[in-house]
Amino acid sequence: MVEIKVDDVYDVTIEKQDHFGRGIAKAKNMVIFIREALPEDHIKVEVTDVKKTFAIGKIKEMKKSSKQRTEPYCKYYDICGGCQIMHQKYPYQLEFKQKKVKELFSRYAEIGELEIESILHGKEFHYRNKVVFHGVNRILGFYKEKSKSLIKVKLCLLLEQELNIIYNKIIDYLNETPESTIRNLMIRKTSQNEFMIVVDGDLKDKNEFLEYIKDLNINSIFLNNQLVKGKRYITENIFDLDFRIYPEAFFQVNYEMMKALYQLVIDYYKKKKYNKILDLYCGTGTIGMLLSPYVNEVVGVEVVKDSIKAANQNKELNNITNIRFIEGKVEDKISSFKEIDSIVVDPPRSGLNSETIETILEISPQSIVYISCDPVTLARDLKVLLEDYELVKANLVDMFPNTYHIETVTILERKPKRTFNNYGILINLKHPYKKEDFVGMSLIKTKDINGKTILIDEIAYNHYLSFRSALAEEEIQIGIKSAYRTYEEQQKFYERATRKKEVNTVAPPGYSDFHTGLSLEIEVLSSPLEKSKAHKHTYKRLQELAPEYGFVLRYPKKKEKFTGRKAKKNQFRYVGSGISRVLEKHQITLEEYHNEKVEEDEE
């Protein structure tokens, strides 16, 4: 096969876009990603880089352009990289973002047919109310994509016009004062026409700088982390509530779309009658305070000190008494909460860490509203959350037109508690596991002897706890070594047993009792009956006591011809107390119980 090389040129038609908005084509059976290429473009592509499984290319010649194509308005578009899809007509940008979210949810969350209720959108240009410029070698501008090279611009079409005016005024100052340098410049504006600038740099004369920009009427000016003019904050208004914004506080950069997003959240909660809501990554407290009229109590958690300071001031400013804020990392604080009706999360781009997700599932709120700026990490987190929750609503908000970014609002509601009572069901090589046989089972999370999270049927676990307590009275300490296993997990066990030529000790995937969530490998941790680590006599005691709590030894000695498996001293199966007593009384296995139909004792 001929390999693709750098500088090769191929005649291709773009099939679709990847999640970064790049066009995708194939040449020599290799995928090529091409910036600024659109579906149905017919182009000559020049290969610029070759990786192991894909290549990067650029448009060398446009032979026939897509109907989706438009001329970018920005003259810096080809060199800046801040926008990625300005060459795509806006209605098609919205289509691309919807397809992107659906594909990511399908790939990472295994959601087949995602129904997106709406994609809310507003202005294509001049929507950003915050910007950060960087300075290097007396150039103040934007970094080129994936580089530290700076582009000096006169106008950014994404910014509200006043931000461009302030930027150009400060550029003029630098041009007239060569002794001054600026490393970073942040400019912020609110809908109330209040402005803040934060300057990090070395200015020749602070007072001279303030005099130079006095006509801009900036309300808050910080120089090297020191307030040098005006207030320490600027004020924003959302739905009749006022919010103070400090330099480091997070606040959405698209005001109109922020309101549209918050309205989605408000519309959901005002139909509920929740007592207590937990607002994680609460920032300056906007969402929590907007929801406060519809619940008895809101608790916000945020790690940024400036944000918490602003949040506490905001609740006083708006006379809101049913909300409180906690400063700290979400993963450090969340475990202390109980009896939460609903949780709102608006995490950073990295999403939720596994510890936070695990704690949310343990809290088990009635609903979760997950706001995300990255559908990849959102889909990853949803895959875990959807074990206990169902996705009832998904909305998109185009907070960042002309870029590949999209804001997603998903609403999850806890699956109803279900009942399952077929605890005597038989799973072996003749009777494979069938998911439909276990509808209504409620698997819960606990920890194994190594501290790893495992799943087990809720009823079986409650009986296990009673069994464990009874053994503890005899000074026998036990723990769970293994419980529920997925097909993939069982495959690993089976392959390991095959390599060791111990096939009859582990069932193949699809035929294992561990798929049920009713089988447990129980390990004796300590026992007064013997010093040997094998705990031969102790396991015999477990076997004797287990039926009182609905468990039986799944593979006892001298029963291999019925079970088809080698005897195993520590694998116990919950079958319910009625069946367990029958099996114990007649000294039979689950296989014999089903085949010979031994009559149960009447109770």
The predicted model gives 366-391 an average pLDDT of: 93
Residues 6+ apart with CB under 8 A from 397: 119, 120, 121, 257, 260, 261, 264, 406, 407, 408, 409
The predicted model gives 472-479 an average pLDDT of: 94
Q: What are phi and psi of 571, to 5 degrees?
A: -95, 110
Highest mean pLDDT: which of 14-23, 558-567, 588-597?
Answer: 14-23
Q: What is the pLDDT of residue 416?
A: 72
Q: Helix crossing, 375-385 with 90-108: angle to 10°? A: 40
Residues 6+ apart with CB under 8 A from 342: 269, 272, 274, 277, 278, 365, 366, 367, 368, 369
Predicted confidence band of residue 419 (pLDDT cuts 50, 70, 90): low
- Encoding tokens for residue 161? 């016009």
Residues 131-181: pLDDT tens digits? 999 998 778 999 887 777 888 899 999 999 999 999 999 999 999 998 999
Q: What is the pLDDT of residue 418?
A: 60
| HEC assignment per residue over 412-450 | EEECCCCCCCCCCCCCCCCCCCCHHHHCCCCEEEEECCC
Contact 93, 370 (CB under 8 A): no
Residue 600 predicted with pLDDT over 50 = no
Contact 289, 315 (CB under 8 A): yes
State whether residue 98 is helix, strand or coil: helix
Contact 141, 153 (CB under 8 A): yes
Q: What is the pLDDT of residue 388?
A: 86
Amino acid at 297: E
Residue 258 predicted with pLDDT over 70 = yes
**431 to 258, 507, 559, 563, 591: CA distances (angstroms):** 55, 12, 18, 12, 10
Residue 1 predicted with pLDDT over 50 = no
Residue 353 predicted with pLDDT over 60 = yes
Residue with tokens 């079958």: 575
Residue 420 predicted with pLDDT over 90 = no
Q: What is the pLDDT of residue 304?
A: 87
Q: Which of the residues 74, 83, 282, 373 is marked catalytic? A: 373
- Encoding tokens for residue 214? 């006095």
For residue 599, give the DSSP letter: P
Residue 598 predicted with pLDDT over 60 = no
Task: Look at 113 and 583; give whichever has higher pLDDT.
Answer: 583
- Encoding tokens for residue 569? 């001293």
Residues 553-576: pLDDT tens digits? 999 999 999 998 899 999 999 999
Q: What is the pLDDT of residue 595?
A: 80
CA-closest candidate to residue 529, choices 520, 521, 539: 539
| HEC assignment per residue over 464-516 | HHHHHHHHHHCCCEEEEEECCCCHHHHHHHHHHHHHCCCHHHCCCCCCCHHHH
Domains and CATH numbers, the chain: 1-66 (2.40.50.140), 130-231 (2.40.50.1070), 236-414 (3.40.50.150), 435-596 (3.30.1380.10)
Residue 40 predicted with pLDDT over 90 = yes
Q: What is the mean pLDDT of the chain?
A: 91
Task: Look at 310 and 64; give whichever has higher pLDDT.
Answer: 64
Known catalytic membership, residue 74: no
Q: What is the pLDDT of residue 599?
A: 43
Residues in the chain: 603
Residues 6+ apart with CB under 8 A from 570: 481, 521, 522, 523, 524, 539
Residue 488 predicted with pLDDT over 80 = yes
Residues 6+ apart with CB under 8 A from 518: 423, 457, 460, 573, 574, 575
State whether residue 163 is helix, strand or coil: helix
Using CA of residue 80, residue 86, residue 88, residue 93, what is the dihedral sign? Answer: positive
Residues 6+ apart with CB under 8 A from 112: 106
The predicted model gives 425-444 an average pLDDT of: 88
Residue 198 predicted with pLDDT over 60 = yes
Least confident of 19-33, 102-116, 188-202, 319-333: 102-116
CA-closest candidate to residue 288, choices 267, 327, 262: 262
Residues 508-518: pLDDT tens digits? 999 999 999 99
Residue 286 predicted with pLDDT over 50 = yes
Alpha carbons 220 and 527: distance in angstroms, whole number: 69
When computed from its CA atoms, the radius of gyration of the chain, rounded to whole angstroms, is: 31
Q: What is the pLDDT of residue 122?
A: 96
Model confidence, pTM: 0.69
Least confident of 107-121, 291-305, 334-348: 107-121
